[in-house]
Structures are given as structure tokens and as C-alpha cells.
Structure 1
Amino acid sequence: MSAADLPDFGAEPESSMARMVEIFDVRPDPVVPARYLGDSDGGTRRVVDGSQILGQSIVAAAKALPGRTVRTAHALFVSAADPDIPLDFTVTPIKTGRSFASATVTVRQELKVRTSCTVLLDNPQPDLIRSDEPAGLPVAGPDDAVPAAALPLPGREVRIVGSTDINDPGEVGPPVVDAWLRYDEVPARDELHRAVLAHFTGHLGISTALRPHPGIGTAQAHHTLSTAPMGISVTFHDPVKWDGWLRYHHEATYVGAGTAYIRGQVSTEGGRLIASFTQDAMIRAFDPGPVTEMPSEARL
């Protein structure tokens, strides 16, 4: 049989922001209640971004508990997920009250747990008091920031303040990174808004933690450095709506013992705070393997 005789199953969909929104919108299992099915886009890597799974978990919880708004989501990425294997999301309510509701979302691939996420939902209330000024102001706006060539995704533009290549081990600066994002289209549904917002919370945390250290950068990740987000928590401050640019402010407040802690905020170009997040990350040298005893002549 020649190649021309083989059936055409179609090419793998190209990575894009529109494709990511489709991925966030997990599908109800037609048989099992409170179970949702999802796909992944690993891009050029054979691993799924934890923040993609976080976004999907947010949507799954919102669908399982309709009429509520996702307020916080705390995800632990306990095992790497393969982008070629479908994900399933099981939503288990913890408590459903008149105002607040909570649930766990367990994410599996072929019965293996990949992520566990705890989600808090509520009914938005009018302000009694309000304070929502973002941290780290003032900062250069998107017009003065540098396009981030290392973060390509059609349908999304990323610019970073004061950095020409955030992955470069030779580029040294403070453990603070401000990134401006703009999307060609923003989905209309509230839970997809929140999934899109949560997606980028996992992208620059480790780069922020490595930035002050000469000769160490995310270009080395998965080569000489073993790095990964181990957990992300995001809190949404209503209303989660925006038009135009978003500012993601990252600060690495601790790096050591093979881990890093990063906190951040998401605000509009006009200065309205709409979300806060934290990330716990692993930063370690690759294990060189078992140490073998040197021949006696080599010890001299």
C-alpha cells in the first residue's frame, strides 16, 4: 500500500489561543455525572502545562456547580501529564451553601492522578468596601515593553518590561518581572474568562526566580536544570473583565532548597486589580545518577 492509499486522519490542530479556549471548555461525560473530558496542547514538548489543567479545572467546577462564580482555585501538579492522552476531570462537591460552594477536581489520565485542585465558588456581592491598587507601580506600559519572542502563541501578544530575552542565563536583573498580554479575542463566558486569566500564571514564575542569578536561566530548563511548577493558586477579584492589555506582575520572594515561591497580580492597563496568584516551583540540577567508585589508579 502506498502513502496515497492510507486514510487521511487530518493533521494535529496548530497551537493557537483559539485552540486553547476550546481546550479549556471541557466536555461533560455523557455517562458519568460530574465528570468532564478534555484534550491538551503540549506545543513542541511532551508535557502539559499545569496552568492549562488549572484552567480546565476551573471550567469543570463551574459547569458542575452552575449559578456560582469561581473565586479561588488551588492546584497541585502531582505528576506530569502526557498531551497525547485525554484528561478526565472528576468534580466532587465538598459543601454547597447558600453563598459559598467548594469542590475538589481530580484530574486523571488512564486512572493515574495528574493534578488535584480545590475550588471555592460563591455568588458575587456588591461592594461594602473596596481597595484594589496593584503592587509594583509605576511600571512601563506595553508600548515601552519588549515583545517576547520566546512565548509565541497565535492570538496572544506578550511583551516584557526591561527584558530582551527572559530565558537568557546571561540576562541578570531583580527577581521581578512585569509582562503585558493582549488577546485577539476574549471568550464571552465568565468561566472561560477565568481559565484564560489563570493560564498565564504558570509561564514566567520560574524565569522570575532565576533572573538574579548569573549563568542560570530558563533556556537551560529540561537540559541542565530540572524545573517545573508544582502548584499554582489563583484568586479572582470580581469583576473579571477587561478590554485591551493585561499586566502580570511577578515577584520571587524566596528561592532555595530546590524550590521557589513566586507571588503575582493581574491588573488591567487602567490599573484595576482583577486577580492574584502564587506559584510553588521546583528548581534543581539534574540527578547525575548513582556514584560509582573510581578505580584505585584514578584516585591518585
Structure 2
Amino acid sequence: MSEVLSGYRQRPDYRVDLLARTNSFTATVGPRQLASSDACLLVDEQDHGLVVYFPPEAVDTTLLEPVALHTVCPFKGEASYWTLPGGDRPWIAWTYPRPHPLLGQSIVAATRALPGRTVRTAHALFTSAADPEVPLEFTVTPIRAGRSFAAVTVGVRQGEKVRTSCTLLLDAPQPDLVRRDTPAGPPVAGPETAGPDASPALPGREVRIVDCADINDPDEVGPPVVDAWLRYDEVPAADDLQRAVLAHFTGHLGISTALRPHPGLGTAQAHHTLSTAPMGIGITFHDPVGWDGWLRYHHEATFVGAGMAHIRGQISTRAGVLIASFTQDAMIRAFDTGPGPEIPGAARL
């Protein structure tokens, strides 16, 4: 997987200060108010002027439209941009939305805490959305470490707030007694005939979705099943990083899969008229992980109702070898009054 290298490797003394402010800030264009908040961050970055960042929930995103532009800062990450329809500027606002892959990072933290073991299962609850601008603290607490198996919990905090709690089972892979590693269900068309994902691309990764023009479109109606092909430019060599990479995409298409059979509903409405978020993800790794080329992520929504959805899935190689299975429990609800905070669902991952 392509890595956006941190600029601090070359410039360890580079300064980016985040200053929390309690005085009120307002952003307007002509008579239109785009944002207002008394909980902004003042970013004082070396070689740059002072910039005020508004919290996502303080921005009226109904006035803005996303554009295809993406840039990368080696110190702050990847930025996405918005424009004001009818305006004379190609873009007017930006954010750094790329989330911390909390499940994947928990897998790596547990492996580093217990060297010689590999993660077999990981079950994470995303209790609140992480702030991509605030450092994360991972705490690994052993439950038991025996000769064969070990179990740990990983707590993820930002300051006093708990973001994620993850329970993991680790072991040392053993020789086969019996083996069956064929994915369930019929085969699907390959990535060559699948269409590209309409969502903004992540550098170093390509996603293609089978028999679906736009998975986010409320008018894209079909069965509660979605198959996606995914390929990374580079696959990390370390086993724990490979498992983290596999886990990262398990939460991206579950809610879209659950909404697909229902006309007029789609993830394009998320945080506008629909309140959606992954609340829990579990993943089980079936083998010493290793692959080259395309991966197939198969999603099936088995239940939708009572404001929740349950999705199960499988990850297999292009050759048809099952290497991992996963589940997701997601929130899908209507807003009582108006649009809600623009929090990417993946920020809980």
C-alpha cells in the first residue's frame, strides 16, 4: 500500500501548533453564513499564516458541494475540498477527513505487545468518532497469555474520551488437520468488468464494485449484496500490517449494502437526512495472511430494522482462497430535525 510519508522524518523540528479557542468565529460568503462556532482550532503552522478550523458539525454543508481535488500535506495528511455552487472559485473550503484506522491500529498494537503471536480475531466497538487532528493513545491490557492462545483488550483514547474498545484473540498458526477455504456463494465477475467506486479515491488504492454504477446513489436499487474488488499499489511485508490493511476496508460498504434494496435511500444522504455510522466490526483471519493483486470483499446485509443493520462478509483472493471473514453492526436512522454533523462513518474505523 502506498504510504504518505510523514514530513517529520525529514524535518523533525517542523512546527504545527493547535490552539483551542473559546471565542466565537464565523465564516460567511456574502450574505450566506457557512460556519459559526466557539469551539474552533487555531492552527499556527511554520511557513504558513494562522488558519481557523471549524468543527465539522459547525459547517452548513448543505451550501457546499464536494469537488474532485485532493492534496497531501506531509505534516497534516490528505485534504478534501468543497466549492460553493454558483461561486467564482474552484474551491472555498477544505478538511482533513482521512480517519485513523482504529481497528487496524489496534491489531498492530496487540501484535507488538505480544511478539511471536498473530491476531486471529478482533472485535471493535466504536463508541465515538475520533478527531483526526488529535493524537490517539492505545492501551493494551492482557486478559490471558497461555502457551497456545492469548487474549487482550485495546482501549483507544483521545484525552479523556474513549473512542474505541477492541478485544483480540492471538495465537501461533498450526498445521492443517483438515482444510476448506472456498468462499460461500457463486463466483462474481472479475475487476476488469466492474465499475470504479464513485467515492473519492484513496491514494495507493483502487476499488471496483460489481454490477453497481454508484453505490451511494439512492436510486441504485438491487439486492442486499455487494461485491467489491480492491487492489493496493503495494502490500506491506509485515504480517501485522497486512492484517491491519485487510481490516481497514471492512466498514466502508456495509451501510450501502443494507440500504441498496430500498428505493430512495442511499449513503449519499448520510449526515443530511440519514444518521448512519458503523458501531461495531468483527474480523477473523483464517490463515497466515498474504496476497498479491486483487482482493474480493463480499458483503451481505442479513437484517435491517429498529434503527440498526447487520452485515456479514468475506475476504478472498483473486484465486478464490478465503483469507478472512467479517461482520458489521451499523446505525441507520432518520434525523428528527434537520441535518446532523458531517462526521464520516469511516472516522469510527
How far has the Cα of 1:240 moved from its partner? Answer: 1.1
> 1:226 maps to what in 2?
275
Matched-pair contact (CA < 8 Å) for 1:261–1:280: yes
Alignment of 1:90-239 (within 5 A): 90-239=139-288
How far has the Cα of 1:67 moved from its partner? Answer: 0.5
Amino acid at match of 1:203: H
Secondary structure of residue in 1 paired with 2:282: strand
Q: Percent identity?
A: 76
- Cα 1:46–1:151, aligned 2, differ >3 Å: closer, same or farther? closer
- Distance (Å, rounded) in 1 between the aligned partners of 2:336 and 2:166: 29
How far has the Cα of 1:7 moved from its partner? Answer: 3.3
Matched-pair contact (CA < 8 Å) for 1:193–1:240: yes
- Asked if residue 73 in structure 1 is aligned to residue 122 in structure 2, the reply is yes
- Distance (Å, rounded) in 2 between the aligned partners of 1:47 and 1:257: 30
Secondary structure of residue in 2 paired with 1:201: helix
Q: What TM-score do you get using the length of structure 1 for normalisation? A: 0.82
Question: Where does structure 2 lack aligned partners over 5 or more consecutive residues?
Answer: 1-44, 49-72, 80-93, 339-349
Which structure has greater strand proportion?
Answer: 2
- Asked if residue 12 in structure 1 is aligned to residue 12 in structure 2, the reply is no
How far has the Cα of 1:160 moved from its partner? Answer: 0.2
Amino acid at match of 2:76: E
The count of aligned residue pairs is 256
Secondary structure of residue in 1 paired with 2:304: strand
- Asked if residue 253 in structure 1 is aligned to residue 302 in structure 2, the reply is yes
Matched-pair contact (CA < 8 Å) for 1:224–1:285: yes
Alignment of 1:281-292 (within 5 A): 281-288=330-337
Per-residue CA deviation, residues 57-116 of structure 1 (Å, 9 max, x unaligned), is: 000000001110000000000111111111110000000000000000000000211110
How far has the Cα of 1:44 moved from its partner? Answer: 4.6
How far has the Cα of 1:46 moved from its partner? Answer: 5.4
Secondary structure of residue in 2 paired with 1:61: helix
- Distance (Å, rounded) in 1 between the aligned partners of 2:289 and 2:148: 19
Alignment of 1:56-67 (within 5 A): 56-67=105-116
Secondary structure of residue in 1 paired with 2:110: helix
Amino acid at match of 1:248: Y
Matched-pair contact (CA < 8 Å) for 2:276–2:333: yes
Amino acid at match of 2:300: E
> 1:31 maps to what in 2?
none
- Distance (Å, rounded) in 2 between the aligned partners of 1:283 and 1:194: 28
> 1:48 maps to what in 2?
99
- Asked if residue 242 in structure 1 is aligned to residue 291 in structure 2, the reply is yes
- Cα 1:262–1:151, aligned 2, differ >3 Å: closer, same or farther? farther
- Distance (Å, rounded) in 1 between the aligned partners of 2:95 and 2:190: 31
Question: Where does structure 1 lack aligned partners over 5 or more consecutive residues?
Answer: 1-5, 16-42, 290-300
- Distance (Å, rounded) in 2 between the aligned partners of 1:220 and 1:206: 12
Matched-pair contact (CA < 8 Å) for 2:77–2:98: no
Amino acid at match of 1:230: M
How far has the Cα of 1:287 moved from its partner? Answer: 2.3
- Distance (Å, rounded) in 1 between the aligned partners of 2:183 and 2:248: 19
- Distance (Å, rounded) in 2 between the aligned partners of 1:196 and 1:171: 28
Amino acid at match of 1:158: V
How far has the Cα of 1:246 moved from its partner? Answer: 0.1
- Distance (Å, rounded) in 2 between the aligned partners of 1:157 and 1:78: 29
How far has the Cα of 1:239 moved from its partner? Answer: 2.3
Per-residue CA deviation, residues 99-149 of structure 1 (Å, 9 max, x unaligned), is: 000000000000211110000000100100001110222211111110113
- Distance (Å, rounded) in 2 between the aligned partners of 1:151 and 1:74: 27
Which structure has greater helix proportion?
Answer: 1
Matched-pair contact (CA < 8 Å) for 1:262–1:280: yes
- Distance (Å, rounded) in 2 between the aligned partners of 1:271 and 1:99: 29
Matched-pair contact (CA < 8 Å) for 1:47–1:82: no
Matched-pair contact (CA < 8 Å) for 2:291–2:317: yes
